[in-house]
Amino acid sequence: MADHYEVLGVSREATPDEIKKAYRRLARELHPDVNPGEDAAEKFKLVTHAYDVLSDPEQRQRYDLGGDNNPFGGGAGGFGGFGDVFEAFFGGGGARAGRPRSRRERGQDALVRVTLDLGDVVFGAHRDVEVDTAVLCETCQGSCCQPGTQPVTCDICHGSGQVQRTVRSLLGNVVTSQPCTTCQGYGTTIPYPCGTCAGQGRVRARRTVSVDIPAGVETGLRLQLPGSGEVGPAGGPNGDLYLEVTVTPHEVFSREGDDLLATLEVSMPDAILGTTTTIESLDGPVELEIKPGAQSGEVLTTRGRGITPLRGGQRGDLRVGIHVVTPTRLDARERALIEEFAKKTKAPGPRLAEFHQGLFSKLRDRFRNG
């Protein structure tokens, strides 16, 4: 192992100023920028390590007492100096620098809210959705350059996107890499950016996206349309478009799962005698039969006239709850007929029955359990 004093060409009694002058002289002769030879590079490492040790009073004292302060051996043998180790990790000694960044990046996702009515939910719907987003620049087609020009290799990093910096420390020369500030790490610069998109390769615009919304959606559901979001910088791939669904309440029908619910008002005579009626559902007329003696809260079910499930399958049912309407205004003759009917039927008077929370609670329970 080389002696540090011999490497610098000074005596063991040399002053700190003499050590510094000797190092500067040798560094000017052996620095890789001045002397690119391999032998000069190895000597430069030895000179730098020797100076690091002898310029520090504590390290020099330990060295004079027999310590080497270099557990890996000198630059001429073993694993080389600490500088060699750090250069291997940080890009020195011929290590490859990282690749330059790509200007093309994936675009961001977009979110659009779409409002549907309950009828759209039964079978699905088609919508043309307006999206205010980023689209490909038609002038440069994503190249970011004026037509007829192209990016040029950065003259600072020479296309690598990285610049290296050598830092001298007690451990030797440490070479670090960092993104080139001139080209922002892209490895190229654009001397003539596109005037339409200001060198971005994309512009803001409103476009129309045609969407087929499946049946069975509900409020709060988000539909993903891959690749329908904004275009990325420099014409990069599009992000995704998300449609958030809101279903407006219907005046007549409501939804429970895949079933449609409705309430049918029936007059007292029709409830007593029974009748048939036709109602207009969300997808056409439906005939209902009201049997004699119908009671409020009974549910009439029509199979397969509800909502188509989101993931396919058999449609739900249309469930119509009966609400018998009691007349509130009677003329003398009507009242006399009702009184005669009451005498003949000998109907019992009012009495306590099973507890419930009202007619509409009863209807709701019937809907769920009917």
What angle (nearest 5°) sits at the alpha carbon of residue 366, between those of residues 269 and 258?
115
Closest CA to 1 of 100, 76, 84, 106: 76
Q: What are the tens digits of pLDDT across the range 196-232?
A: 999 999 999 998 999 999 999 999 999 999 999 999 9
Is the model's pLDDT at 307 over the cut of 60? yes
CA atoms within 13 A on the CB side of 119: 8
pLDDT computed for residue 97 by the predictor: 45
% the chain with pLDDT above 70: 84
Give the least confident one: 63-72, 206-215, 219-228, 313-322.
63-72
Domain 110-247 has CATH 2.10.230.10: yes
pLDDT for 306 equals 92
How crowded is the C-beta side of 202, counted as CA atoms within 13 Å?
Answer: 24
Q: How far apart are the first and last CA of the chain?
A: 96
pLDDT digits (tens, 9 = 90+) for 134-155: 999 999 999 999 999 999 999 8
Cα–Cα dist 79/88, whole Å: 12
Q: Band the pLDDT of 355: cuts 50, 70, 90.
A: low
DSSP label at 233? G
Does the structure show a pLDDT above 80 at 356? Answer: no
323 CB-near residues (< 8 Å, 6+ apart): 263, 264, 265, 266, 296, 297, 359, 363
- What are the tokens at 32? 């890789």
| Chain mean pLDDT for the chain | 82
Q: What token pair was written down for 114?
A: 């779409």
Confidence of residue 109 (pLDDT cuts 50, 70, 90): very high
pLDDT average, residue stretch 338-364: 67
Q: Quick check: 82 pLDDT over 50?
A: no
Distance, in Å, from the CA atom of 150 to the CA atom of 188, rounded to the nearest integer, reads: 10
What DSSP designation does 219 have?
A: T
| Residue 359 pLDDT exceeds 90 | no
Residue 350 has pLDDT above 80, yes or no: no
> Residue 313 corresponds to which tokens in the numbers above?
């399958």
Global model pTM greater than 0.75: no
pLDDT at 173: 73
Rounded distance between C-alpha atoms, residue 218 and residue 238, angstroms: 27
Q: Is the pLDDT of residue 349 over 60?
A: yes
What would the mean pLDDT of 172-199 be, rounded to a whole number? 88
Query: What are the boundaries of each domain within the chain?
Result: 4-80, 110-247, 254-369
Local confidence band at 32 (pLDDT 50, 70, 90 cut-offs): low
List the structure tokens of 284.
């056409």
> What CATH topology corresponds to 254-369?
HSP40/DNAj peptide-binding domain (2.60.260)
Is the Cβ–Cβ distance between 151 and 158 less than 8 Å? no
Class of domain 4-80: mainly alpha
Higher pLDDT among residues 272 and 40, named by residue: 272
